[in-house]
Amino acid sequence: MSVLVDKNSKVIIQGFTGSEGTFHAQQMIEYGTNVVGGVTPGKGGQIHLDKPVFNTVNDAIEKVGANTSLIFVPPAFASDAIMEAAEAGIKVIICITEGIPTKDMIIVKEYLSSRDCTLVGPNCPGVITPGEAKCGIMPGFVFKKGRIGLVSKSGTLTYEAADQVVKAGMGISTAIGIGGDPIIGTTTKEAVQLFMSDPDTDGIIMIGEIGGQLEADAAKWIKENGTKPVVGFIAGQTAPAGRTMGHAGAIVGGKDDTAAAKMAILRECGIKVADSPADIGILMAELMQVNV
């Protein structure tokens, strides 16, 4: 078992024939991901990267049984692409696109609330289950198969944490990059809940950043319901108040939004907090009683 994606996922790329979609689809195919085709309106019937191109997501579901979609559509059209996938019946929608207007994501969030699907992103690196499926833009070679679940707002820190875990003698069950925008699909808490329920995940790493309440919400849930050890890290410890740092959602708006305040909340909830990204793997190994 794995979380969200695995070797049986039937993946399509929305924005398949564009430069970004083409590049990353090729990387995903080379990794071994079960990419069954792609969607580019007006180019249906063509073959691209030896895979069929469809005009609509509906066509892709009907012809190749797609159940997972990766979105590389430009920001102005990405919200429509997400809603098209959800309406068609795609179960896991991973939106890589950066720069989608917040007002568009408000509409998307409401639209998805009544539909049976999971959105990861936008503005995220995607999801990877090592050795089975790479659905995103992450460097696949960094991730080795193991039993540590990883959820992160930051793409770069996702890769760094995975590397630290591997160097500490462990591996990753699934890594979920949820994105750092103000409005996203899967939250930190929801990702943690998936890992807590996954029998192939023994420990969880939770990487957050300044701004918002996602980490605090997850930590409080872990305190009440957690059954597995959790290591946390909060980026932005030196960020000045009121300034957006890197991600649109990474802005300190209140006293609980700072890195120090979030780290304190995590510790109060029984989470082992790393002061530096370099400590993540070591702390996880200690909790898992692995000799580094």
Residues that are catalytic: 247
How far is the first Cα of the chain from the last one, in angstroms, to the nearest whole number? 27
Residue 262 has a CB neighbour count (10 Å cut-off) of: 27
Strand ranges for the chain from DSSP E? 11-14, 35-39, 47-48, 51-54, 68-71, 92-95, 118-120, 126-129, 133-136, 145-152, 172-177, 203-209, 230-235, 272-273
248 secondary structure, DSSP code: T
Q: Is residue 115 within 8 Å of 93, Cβ to Cβ?
A: no
> Other C-beta atoms within 10 Å of 231: how many?
29
Cα torsion 136, 141, 142, 143 to 10°: value is 70
113 Cβ contact partners less than 8 Å away, ≥ 6 residues apart: none
The rounded distance, in Å, linking the Cα atoms of 181 and 57 is 25
Burial class of 275 by CB neighbour count within 10 A (0 to 12, 13 to 18, 19+): exposed
